[in-house]
């Protein structure tokens, strides 16, 4: 698999974002994740967006991080927020999410971020298992969905 930096608004990234939004809608019975995002949030050095391509050149996985600092949504100075981790169903079980996660952590660390944070939901047990097995621990809620009962927030030191 070929994992490479790609703009968040690239057509392949948009395609996978649409797919993950459909999955969120099925799992949660709503319109998907409406957290405000735009491509500039993932532009280096303040963030990074990665896509994985299979040997046939099809986009099969994605993930990104964006800079966060202390604000009214509960972030802390030095945070890097993980966003849009997704693997298409036919590519699951190949370790792509773990590879993308490791690359994002390394990049955020190199950019001087001190903690990786993420928000997921209780209807995504696979994601929660990945993060727990990768050293993430539950933390105080933050972000757009911080007041939702189904929201689960995790953090991992990067230093």
| Residue numbers of the chain with a pLDDT score lower than 50 | none
Question: What DSSP line would sit under 86-111, residue for residue?
Answer: EE-GGGTTSSHHHHHHHHHHHHHHHT
Residue partners of 22: CB distance under 8 A and separation at least 6 = 32
Q: What is the pLDDT of residue 30?
A: 79
pLDDT of residue 93: 94
The closest of 76, 49, 80 to 67, measured between CA atoms, is: 80
> How far does Cα 43 stand from its chain's mean position?
15
pLDDT at 134: 98
Residues 96, 100, 106: CA angle, nearest 5 degrees: 150
**In the chain, what are the domains?**
2-157 (3.40.630.30)
């Amino acid at each position: 698999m070929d994992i490479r930096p790609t703009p968040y608004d690239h057509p392949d990234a948009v395609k996978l974002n649409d797919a993950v939004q459909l999955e969120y809608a099925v799992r949660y019975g709503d319109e998907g994740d409406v957290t405000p995002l735009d491509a500039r949030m993932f532009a280096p050095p303040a963030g990074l967006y990665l896509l994985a391509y299979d040997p046939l050149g099809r986009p099969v996985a994605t993930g990104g991080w964006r800079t966060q600092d202390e604000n009214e949504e509960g972030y802390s100075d030095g945070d890097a927020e993980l966003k849009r981790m997704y693997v298409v169903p036919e590519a699951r079980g190949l370790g792509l999410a773990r590879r993308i996660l490791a690359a994002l952590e390394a990049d955020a660390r190199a950019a001087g971020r001190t903690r990786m944070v993420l928000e997921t939901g209780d209807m995504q047990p696979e994601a929660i298992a990945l993060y727990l097995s990768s050293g993430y621990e539950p933390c105080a809620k933050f972000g757009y969905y911080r007041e939702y009962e189904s929201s689960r927030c995790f953090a991992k030191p990067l230093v």
